[in-house]
Amino acid sequence: MRIAGVNLPTEKRVETALTYIYGIGQAKARAILQETGVAPDVRVKDITPADEGKLRDKIEKGLIVEGDLRREVQMNVKRLKEIGSYRGNRHARNLPARGQRTKTNARTKRGKRVTMGSGRKKAADKT
């Protein structure tokens, strides 16, 4: 089954498979299934074409997901950078933007640890 340009895994439950779409998490997946009347414990391969159509209509027409959502998030970050806000500067410098400490931790944002030396050059070999 393909929804919003994403192939959903056939062996997983619909509730879990919907989370493969960018912009849909567990809570939103449950809400979508409740609104469309599709059973959450059904496997993707066992969904009827009618239910598949309901899900596709609800997601593609009613929600901002995948490429549109990614574009919207990128535009928001770009706007923050352009107006020179604190959050925009943090994004530009690739540092945490939500107040986390950076003296220790923040490895995901800052990258692999790089140990700094003392700044002195090593003495030349005297042989």
The model's pTM is 0.76
Per residue of the chain (127 residues), what is the pLDDT tens digit? Answer: 889 899 999 999 999 999 999 999 999 999 999 999 999 999 999 999 999 999 999 998 889 999 899 999 999 999 999 999 999 999 999 999 999 998 888 888 888 888 877 777 777 766 6
Question: What gap in Å lies between CA 16 and CA 26, rounded to an integer?
Answer: 7
Q: Which domains does the chain have, with CATH numbers?
A: 2-63 (1.10.8.50), 67-109 (4.10.910.10)
